[in-house]
Chains A and B, each alone.
Chain A
Amino acid sequence: MYGWIWRHLPGPFAVKLTIAVVLLLGIVALLMFVVFPWVEPRLWFNNVSVQ
Chain B
Amino acid sequence: MATHEGPGDRRQYSGDPYRPRARPGQGGERPRPPMSRQQPGGQPPRRPRPPGDRPTGERPRPPVDRRRYTGPDLSNEETVIFEAVGKTGTATKSKDKPPLPPLGKGGVAVRTVGELLITAGLVVLLFMVYELYVTDLFSAEKQAAASNTLDGDWAKERTTHAGPADGEAFARIHIPTFGADFNFTIQEGTSDAALEVGPGHYKGTAMPGERGNFAIAGHRVGKGAPFNDLDSLTSCDQVVIETQTDFFVYKVLPYDDEMANWESGKGADPKCKGVSTLRKPGEPGGGPYSKTFGRKVVLPSQGDAVNPVPFVRPDKLPDASNTVQLLTLTTCHPQFSARERLIITSVLTQQVPKTQVKDYTDLMKKLGGR
Contacts and interface: CB of A to CB of B under 8 A. Distances in A.
Contacts of B130: 31-32, 36
B71 interface: no
Contacts of A31: 123, 126-127, 130
B120 interface: no
B219 A48 contact: yes
Interface string B321-336: 0000000001110001
Interface string B155-192: 00000000000000000000000000000000000101
Interface string B111-139: 11001100000010011001100110000
B219 A50 contact: no
Interface string A15-49: 00000000000001001100010011100111111
Interface of B: 17-18, 20, 68, 111-112, 115-116, 123, 126-127, 130-131, 134-135, 190, 192, 195, 200, 202, 217-223, 227, 298, 300-303, 305-306, 330-332, 336-338, 341, 343
B116 A1 contact: yes
Given A7-B20, A36-B127, A50 B301 contact: yes
A25 B332 CA distance: 33
Contacts of B330: 48-50
Interface of A: 1-4, 7, 13, 28, 31-32, 36, 39-41, 44-51
A19 B87 CA distance: 43
25 contacts: A1-B111, A1-B112, A1-B116, A4-B17, A7-B17, A7-B20, A28-B126, A31-B123, A31-B127, A32-B126, A32-B130, A36-B134, A41-B192, A46-B223, A46-B332, A48-B195, A48-B218, A48-B220, A48-B227, A48-B341, A49-B195, A50-B303, A50-B305, A50-B306, A51-B300
B22 to A, nearest CB: 13
Interface of B: prevailing SS:
mixed
5 tightest A-B CB contacts, nearest first = A49-B217, A49-B190, A45-B338, A1-B115, A36-B130
A51 B301 contact: yes
Nearest to B299: A50
Given A3-B18, A51-B303, A46 B190 contact: no
Nearest to A44: B338
B180 to A, nearest CB: 25
Contact of B202 (A1, A28, A45, A49): A49
A32 B111 CA distance: 27
A45 B337 contact: yes
B230 to A, nearest CB: 10
Looking at A7, A39, A48, which has the most chain B CB atoms within 10 Å of its CB?
A: A48
Given A7-B20, A36-B131, A50-B341, 11 more contacts: A1-B112, A2-B115, A4-B17, A40-B131, A46-B221, A46-B332, A46-B338, A49-B195, A49-B202, A49-B217, A50-B343
Contacts of A50: 217, 298, 300-303, 305-306, 330, 341, 343
Given A3-B17, A4-B17, A32-B130, A48 B217 contact: yes
Contacts of B301: 50-51
Contacts of B305: 50
Contacts of A41: 192
A44 B115 CA distance: 28
Contact of A32 (B18, B134, B223, B336): B134
A19 B68 CA distance: 18
